[in-house]
Amino acid sequence: MRRKLIAAAVAASVFIVGCGGDRKSSTTTTAATPTSDSMPAPDTTGAELAALRVPGDYPTIQAAVDAAKPGELILIAPGTYHEAVQVSTDQLTIRGLDRNTVVLDGKFDLDNGIRILGAKGVAVENMTAMNFTKNGFFWTGVDGYRGSYLTTYRTGDYGVYAFDSVNGQIDHIYAAGSPDAGVYIGECYPCNAVLSDTVSEHNGLGYSGTNSGGNLLIINSTFRFNRAGIVPNSGSYELCYPERETTIIGNLVYSNNQGDTPAIDVALLAMGNGIIVPGGVLNDIENNLVYDHDKGGISLVPFLEDDPNDSVPAPEKWSMTCAESKQVRPVDPGGAILWDSMQNTVKGNVLENNRGADILVASVGTDTSTLGNCFAGNTFTTSLPKNIEMLAPCDATGTGDWADGAYDILPWLTEVHPPSVDWKTSSLPALELQENMPDAATAPARPATDVPMTVDLAAITVPKKPA
């Protein structure tokens, strides 16, 4: 961690000099640092930058937000802020001067650290939210959002939460201690969003995305020590089903068997799986390293909804946008519905020591050979059914017997798992220092009008195993 931070700081100073930025600011020093003498501290004064400063100009973050006009920058000095900030102004940049010491503390009596409600293009950068009864950082109903270099720790629902929102980017997150997902992007299609460079651990779910997809990239991130790792799913309890077209590439996913986390029921059900797609379709899962799971490394499984709110849409309806689907009247299906995981592509992943199977495909009542999932170029030892790359190759006709090693998933419904633990008191590792954004004190306002970033997916390779 220390080495990484120094490297980041060096890179940051090189960047400042190299691009001819505000040299005066780059030489500014500060006494406020949480780190040892050997580590360059971030500039926490930001004296030269046009900004609304907290607490210098405004006593609270909310007061600065309320005063800010679209396009303006709010700079927050190190300190602990007992606030639940509401944002309804477009294109604000809300930035902490130091990610580790600008702390929003909900103290278990406030709901969301920063909540952005229908405001377009709001970016939140470089700070920590902890002990909120709902979410750390929450965008809802927005077009344009970015969360960068954010830490969430002990939150009652999600860490970083984007709901019914499009055109977004979530990067450089550390999220721990949520019963639901550390990071969530849901109810959007097309989402047009990227999640990258994130570590999510000790949550019910590492990533969850219900009914999201469409140019949605989950890349270059680490999901470990959750009950389950990456969990995009379909369900009619919220809108814009099914989950589809999520691209999951270059992630490090390991040891998601963690029974001492807080957990919603899906987390209990999915426990012990690395990448699991309950009822999701048309997803692209490539070049991930997935190891040490009690159940599946990559699991394409059904989602049984016995208290549904609508019928399962036919494949020809999958292209319907989220906005369009809000206009469709739901129909009571009159009984349980089953979302099958269909037409997913699983290529080039490296899987080890996933003790149920490295690759696992299952349904309840549907012939799995008809689901249209394909598998190629994976490095793995076990699959259920057996020989999955022979049965369902991506560019050829499959051969073999789907019944050989067919997986019975029904026992999952009755298995007993370690019960959910109260999120307020669950066992968590001490919060380590997290990497700061470059140039927090000097970088100009950067509203989320340029998101998501461009990603060269072809350049993403399988991550290396950590030491």
Q: How many residues bind other proteins (CB under 8 A)?
A: 43
**Hey, how many other C-beta atoms are within 10 angstroms of the C-beta on 420?**
19
Q: Are 343 and 280 in contact (CB under 8 A)?
A: no
In the list 45, 101, 133, 234, the residue contacting other proteins (rule: CB under 8 A) is 133
Residue 442 sits in the site that holds other proteins (CB under 8 A): no
Residue 268 sits in the site that holds other proteins (CB under 8 A): yes
> Token pair 């405004």 is at which residue?
58
In the list 265, 367, 404, 432, the residue contacting other proteins (rule: CB under 8 A) is 265
d(CA 331, CA 320): 17
Stretch that binds other proteins, among 5-13, 236-244, 401-409, 432-440 (CB under 8 A): 236-244
Residue 249 sits in the site that holds other proteins (CB under 8 A): no
d(CA 224, CA 410): 26
Residue 447 sits in the site that holds other proteins (CB under 8 A): no
Residue 239 sits in the site that holds other proteins (CB under 8 A): yes
Nearer to other proteins, 67 or 336 (CB): 336
Report strand pairing: 205-210 vs 181-186: parallel
d(CA 401, CA 322): 38
Nearest distance from C-beta of residue 245 to other proteins, angstroms: 19
Residue 231 sits in the site that holds other proteins (CB under 8 A): no
Stretch that binds other proteins, among 31-39, 108-116, 246-254, 432-440 (CB under 8 A): 108-116
Burial tier of 18 (Cβ tally within 10 Å: 0-12, 13-18, 19+)? exposed
Nearest distance from C-beta of residue 53 to other proteins, angstroms: 24
d(CA 49, CA 279): 48
Reading the block at residue 301, the tokens are 């499984």
Residue 419 sits in the site that holds other proteins (CB under 8 A): yes
C-alpha distances out from residue 303 to 163, 229, 248, 345, Å: 21, 16, 19, 18
Q: Are 380 and 320 in contact (CB under 8 A)?
A: no
Residue 307 sits in the site that holds other proteins (CB under 8 A): yes
Residue 178 sits in the site that holds other proteins (CB under 8 A): no
Reading the block at residue 90, the tokens are 């477009």
Nearest distance from C-beta of residue 312 to other proteins, angstroms: 13
Reading the block at residue 166, the tokens are 């499009």
d(CA 228, CA 208): 10
Residue 290 sits in the site that holds other proteins (CB under 8 A): no
Nearest distance from C-beta of residue 179 to other proteins, angstroms: 8
Residue 361 sits in the site that holds other proteins (CB under 8 A): no
Q: Are 326 and 289 in contact (CB under 8 A)?
A: no
Residue 240 sits in the site that holds other proteins (CB under 8 A): yes
State which of positions 86-105 bind other proteins (CB under 8 A): 86, 88
In the list 46, 96, 144, 156, the residue contacting other proteins (rule: CB under 8 A) is 156
Q: Is the peptide bond before 278 cis (omega within 30 degrees of 0)?
A: no
Stretch that binds other proteins, among 2-10, 147-155, 229-237, 435-443 (CB under 8 A): 229-237
Nearer to other proteins, 34 or 237 (CB): 237
Report strand pairing: 85-87 vs 112-117: parallel
Q: Which helix (H) or strand (E) holds 268?
A: helix 265-270
Residue 261 sits in the site that holds other proteins (CB under 8 A): no
Nearer to other proteins, 134 or 293 (CB): 134
Residue 306 sits in the site that holds other proteins (CB under 8 A): yes
Q: Write out 47-81 in H/E/C secondary structure.
A: CCCCCEEECCCCCCHHHHHHHCCCCCEEEECCEEE
Reading the block at residue 304, the tokens are 């049984």
Nearer to other proteins, 25 or 140 (CB): 140
CA 446 centroid distance within chain:
21
**Hey, how many other C-beta atoms are within 10 angstroms of the C-beta on 334?**
8
Residue 59 sits in the site that holds other proteins (CB under 8 A): no
Nearest distance from C-beta of residue 326 to other proteins, angstroms: 5
Residue 163 sits in the site that holds other proteins (CB under 8 A): yes
Residue 395 sits in the site that holds other proteins (CB under 8 A): no
Residues near other proteins (CB under 8 A) are 86, 88, 109-111, 115, 117-118, 133-134, 140-141, 156-157, 163-164, 179, 187, 235-241, 263-266, 268, 306-310, 326, 329-330, 332, 336, 419-420, 422
